[in-house]
Structure 1
Amino acid sequence: MRLLFVCSGNICRSPTAEGVLRHLAHAASLDVEVDSAGLGGWHTGEAPDPRTVRHAKARGYDLSTLRARQIAPADFLFFDRIYAMDQGHVRDLARLAPALHRAKVSLFLDVLARAADAAAIGHEVPDPYYGGAEGFDTVLDLVEAGCRAIVAELARSRR
């Protein structure tokens, strides 16, 4: 299974999801390929935001080797699932995706609805970039919940 997480610039939300899912999948012995990208290329080649790295490290996730990149047309062909962090990203990805691959795009936290938390439908991972430390903690809380649901889903399908 190949999974891609997408946010605006690939320096806060999507690299957090990449790092968390990679960590949880490894712990569950799941064979998944995980990556992240941004809709914009403003930060291409840069490490994640230092606040993102610091908050992730405090919870045991190493994002230090990740580098930002912009989504590419080939991503729609290569990845099995493409998770967007907010509704705007879903709309942008749906416009960019070839018609045959649009079904791969979904709102990341909708995975919680499939995990029996129907109240989560439509929930977004907020952008912490312009806020304080609490925003990065909120992102991690949401990302951990979503990634745990994905890992559980993948583990069930493996049986």
Structure 2
Amino acid sequence: MSYSQYIADTYGSKRGLARYVKFNIKKHLGAYKNADGRQIKNTKRLIYVCSGNICRSPFGEAVSLKAGFPAISFGLHCRGGDPAFEKTLDYASRHGYNLDRHRSTKMRDYTPLVGDLLIVMEPAHLDELNALYPNVNKVLIGQFASNKTVYLHDPFNTNQTFFDKCMQQIEEATLSLITTIKK
């Protein structure tokens, strides 16, 4: 396997690798402590957030709902009304989840409720939501995966190997998060 192929399969792209390294170094220097999952005990609903609400966040929502935990999702930079990405639909179907009825939701259509937990995929999402919803608890989903990370690269323009890896991490982290909340 070439170095380029390894990067594409493991990090999604060279940019994905650079961001993975950057944000995980920042984590080890003490950043993102406000999103480490310490304040999740009274969570009543999981709110999955990503950029377009067609890949990562709708899949997290589907995993949560199938596990019996209330959830919704929205996109920070989407127009709303779009179906889930074709690769997301395919992956979900192959793993027992149904996203056929999903339509992307814009951030402005989200109304916070007591007990909401905003689940973000990357630190840029965290920064944006901290400014808009300072009183709503937030976590970085990758903190609950077995291979802990603060950055889960957007799989939209990546190869199938990375796309599947990303979805696997979301599923694993979501189930781990739900278990932690219920303890």
TM-score normalized with structure 1 length: 0.79
2:109 and 2:101 map into 1 onto residues whose CA distance is 24
Would you say 1:67 and 2:103 are equivalent positions?
yes
Q: 1:106 to 1:75 in 2, by over 3 A?
A: farther
Question: Which position in structure 2 is the counterpart of 1:107?
Answer: 140
Question: Which position in structure 1 is the counterpart of 2:168?
Answer: 141
Would you say 1:54 and 2:90 are equivalent positions?
yes
Question: Which position in structure 2 is the counterpart of 1:40?
Answer: 77
Give how far 1:73 is off.
Answer: 7.1
Q: How does 1:12-23 map to 2 (within 5 A)?
A: 12-23=55-66
1:52 and 1:73 map into 2 onto residues whose CA distance is 23
Count of residue pairs brought into register by the alignment = 140
Indicate conservation of the 8 Å contact 1:21/1:34, yes or no. yes
Q: How does 1:83-102 map to 2 (within 5 A)?
A: 83-97=119-133, 99-101=134-136
2:126 and 2:175 map into 1 onto residues whose CA distance is 21
Q: Which runs of 5+ in 2 are unaligned?
A: 1-43
Indicate conservation of the 8 Å contact 1:4/1:79, yes or no. no
Q: Which runs of 5+ in 1 are unaligned?
A: 27-31
1:91 and 1:140 map into 2 onto residues whose CA distance is 23
% identical equivalent positions: 26
Indicate conservation of the 8 Å contact 1:8/1:38, yes or no. yes
RMSD (Å) for aligned C-alpha atoms: 1.9
Q: Which amino acid letter does the alignment assign opposite residue 140 of structure 2? A: L
Question: Which position in structure 2 is the counterpart of 1:29?
Answer: none
Q: Which runs of 4+ in 1 moved over 6 A?
A: none
TM-score normalized with structure 2 length: 0.69
Indicate conservation of the 8 Å contact 1:15/1:63, yes or no. yes
Indicate conservation of the 8 Å contact 1:83/1:108, yes or no. yes
1:69 and 1:16 map into 2 onto residues whose CA distance is 13
Q: 1:144 to 1:100 in 2, by over 3 A?
A: closer
SS of match in other structure, 1:100: coil
Give how far 1:100 is off.
Answer: 2.8
Structure with bigger gyration radius: 2
